[in-house]
Structure 1
């Protein structure tokens, strides 16, 4: 199958393009948000092909995978693409009017919305638009947990701008329990006493560094399930997390500590710092759970079934 999609979310796309299809990605001269083309820091197969916008109308495309409402407008530039079967991947939780949030593609009959978590499916009002859930899958990181550094790790993007959404205001409370290392894009402004930052490192290098930290913090108040949490679990890090959104399903009992009581979570973080054997035990349980639920084979099989359904329904 020839699938047109934009490069939006690096980790999710890395998993998706491991399938058996041909993946066409628009590219612009400046490699801006509407034409980033292939990833430069993720390992993608050769079945991912960059296609300049002016060539899209001549490409043989079977299905379009959308991830932003604006991409529907872009399809109108190529009449042949606008008529193709379409699925829309909803990566995010609603940003306003919860719990009455209407999805931008609500009440449409020309697209299916695919949520990445059951939490998203529950909270978005999609009206009459067909919906389904395909849970995340990841390419298993090569790094393996050692926990040798008595430090806590967070992976997040734009924590200064996003503030309370990503739990940025909670970072100093955890840093008081143990030194905190923050990895991701836009983290430079966070550097402070007992908080070190690692701005936009290559994914493989970041995984290797995460593996050396004693525990992983997931402090998002309101977000879809971050793939960095699943990756950390698969590496073998024990998790200390806010019991919010899909995290309560992703981190089973015995794989970490979840609570809405921040004081209890800071105590749990300190306990893991002081108890390396317990940290290793919880991390091993989390790794096993993540591999079972978010394995790449299951993810690709679920997507293949859905794509075949959409293609057959359009004929």
Structure 2
């Protein structure tokens, strides 16, 4: 199958393009957000090819995966000459948890009988109002970085991109509070240096550095489900996390502590820092769970099933990809 998709979420796309399909990603001369092309920070296979908007007019694709409202409403038709859902089988991949009042969480692709919305968590599927649009939930999957945990540093590792700008959303304000509660923290991520953390590490370097910390702290209040959390579990790290959005479903009890009580989280983190054996046991449980729930094979199989279903339904309805 030949799949058109924009390079929006590098980590997610890295897993998606590990399948057996061909993947077409738009590219612009300046590699701006609507045309990033192939990733430069992740390892993508040769089956991912770049095409300019002009080239997309004559490109044979079987299905498009859109990820942003303007891709659905403007870019896809403008660049391919085909209307998503009407001239081209279409899946709207929704990465994010909705924002705003609970009664007003209407999805931009709601009430579209000609496409399918794919959510990355059950929480998102529950909270987004998609109207009559068919929805599916395909849990995250990642390329296994391998068991790297050593936990030699009695500190908590945290990964937050743009921690200062995102503030309360990512729980950045909680980090000094954890430190005052006796939980030393090392922050990693884009712009982390502004808060005394570490940034500009390649993914493999980040994994190695993170795995040296005794536990992984996930202070995020509102996000879909951070891939950094799933990666930490794959590394074999025990987890201390806020019980918000999808986290209670993603972290089993034996892998660490999930709670909305700050005192319980701080106490659990201190206990892991003080007990390397308990930390390693919890990390082993986290890895075993992550390999089953968020393994790459399951992820790609789920996506193959959805892609085949969407294309087959479109063909039965009389739509033919060019």
TM-score, normalization by structure 2: 0.94
Residue 185 (structure 1) aligned to one of 182, 186, 190 = 190
Which residue number corresponds to residue 267 of structure 1?
A: 267
Higher relative contact order (CA 8 A, sep 6+): 2
The 1-side partners of 2:5 and 2:219 are apart by 30
What is the CA RMSD across the aligned residues, in angstroms? Answer: 1.1
CA offset digits 1:118-146 (Å, max 9, x no partner): 00000000001110101111100135100
Which structure 2 residues correspond to residues 95-110 of structure 1 after superposition, within 5 A?
95-110=99-114
CA offset digits 1:57-83 (Å, max 9, x no partner): 111111000111111110121323642
CA offset digits 1:34-66 (Å, max 9, x no partner): 000111111111100011111111111110001
CA offset digits 1:244-287 (Å, max 9, x no partner): 11100000111111110111111111111111110001000010
Comparing 99-108 with 129-138, which one deviates more in the overlay?
Answer: 99-108
CA drift at 1:99: 4.8
- 4+ runs deviating over 6 angstroms: none
SS at match of 1:314: helix
Which structure 2 residues correspond to residues 187-226 of structure 1 after superposition, within 5 A?
187-191=192-196, 197-226=197-226
SS at match of 1:107: coil
CA drift at 1:156: 1.3
Structure 1 spans left out of the alignment, 5+ residues: 192-196
Which residue number corresponds to residue 227 of structure 1?
A: 227
Structure 2 spans left out of the alignment, 5+ residues: 316-322
SS at match of 2:11: helix
CA drift at 1:202: 1.2
Residue 173 (structure 1) aligned to one of 172, 177, 183 = 177
Which residue number corresponds to residue 320 of structure 2?
A: none
TM-score, normalization by structure 1: 0.96
SS at match of 2:253: coil
Q: 2:81 aligned with 1:79, yes or no?
A: yes
Q: 2:144 aligned with 1:140, yes or no?
A: yes
CA contact (8 A) 1:184 1:198 kept: yes
Which residue number corresponds to residue 28 of structure 1?
A: 28
SS at match of 1:209: helix
The 2-side partners of 1:100 and 1:118 are apart by 19
Change (3 A) 1:28 1:143: farther
